[in-house]
Amino acid sequence: MKIALIQMNSISDKSANLAQARRLVEEVVAAERPDWICLPEVFDFMGGTRAEKVAAAEVFPEGEAYGLMRDLAREHRVHIHAGSMLERIPSEDRLGNTTVVFDRAGAEVARYRKIHMFDVTTPDGQDYRESATMKPGEDVVTYDCEGVTIGCAICYDLRFPALFQALVARGAQVIALPSAFTLQTGKDHWDVLCRARAIETQTYFAAAAQTGQFQQGGETRATYGHSMIVDPWGLVIAKASDGPGFVTARIDPARVAKVRGQIPVAQHKVPLT
């Protein structure tokens, strides 16, 4: 299976973001013919005010972003793991930070809402309070992609190993992590954490990232980029540099089985209290 990661510089302009997403998907399809494509976190809208986020959000399966991903999957006969999008949840003030996955026919096959909320102050003093606008999800989600089991996570989830162990317990051979890691944390933690999760879970780890600057609350903020695909041994087999673009790699489920046979950590787990 050939997989592709789309790296974007999304901003608080939904139309521009969707145009960028369409262009990059069409470019990677033309150049590489992948079987599966993953976009970054909130590819449809980054930054802006709370009111602008709410206005950009969609009630699935309606809306431009949802419709674009569905139509691209159907048109190009490719699986699309649609990063995450702003989801308007009926009878709820907060939004969902939500992954939707489409098969080659454009049918929705999985939906995952980000579980862990990014409520931190980064080393440069910027405050991030994701829980003020986003409602956390509760469900651990995997799905089948032509015989390969793929697990779902989003960005800040990366720091919580228990989620990834739960995905492995549900059969995950690949884990997808759409992300918008900050520049401040990304430069020190991104590579280490992505490789650690791949090594711990003995899965392919596919992390599609936002890159570059965006505006929020009158501040200029920056994301780290460096989308990467890590193999089950922890080797980085594809990595993007700065700026929008894409990377691809071929993955082999037999490699997952081989690594798990070499170091059978699943068999060596000891229950702890």
Structure tokens at 180: 């918008």
Structure tokens at 230: 């890590």
User: C-alpha distances in angstroms, 97 versus 14, 53, 113, 244?
Assistant: 15, 11, 6, 21
Report how far residue 90's alpha carbon sits from residue 228's, in angstroms, rounded to the nearest whole number.
35
What b/e string do you get for 52-75 counting C-beta neighbours within 10 Å, with b at 16 or more? ebeebbbebeebebbebbbebbbe
Closest CA to 140 of 107, 102, 175: 175
Report how far residue 183's alpha carbon sits from residue 221's, in angstroms, rounded to the nearest whole number.
8
**Which of 53, 114, 152, 194 does the annotation list as catalytic?**
114
User: C-alpha distances in angstroms, 244 versus 24, 34, 85, 163?
Assistant: 8, 18, 18, 29
Spatial contact of 198 and 230, defined as CB atoms under 8 Å apart:
yes
**Which of 14, 38, 41, 194 does the annotation list as catalytic?**
41
User: Is 114 labeled as catalytic in the residue annotation?
Assistant: yes
Spatial contact of 65 and 18, defined as CB atoms under 8 Å apart:
yes
Residue type, 8: M
User: Is 155 labeled as catalytic in the residue annotation?
Assistant: yes
Q: 190: helix, coil or strand?
A: helix
Bridge partners for 248 per DSSP: 4
Spatial contact of 91 and 137, defined as CB atoms under 8 Å apart:
no
Report how far residue 130's alpha carbon sits from residue 114's, in angstroms, rounded to the nearest whole number.
11
**Which of 38, 152, 155, 194 does the annotation list as catalytic?**
155
Structure tokens at 242: 């700065």
User: Is 145 labeled as catalytic in the residue annotation?
Assistant: no
- Active site residue ranges: 41, 114, 155
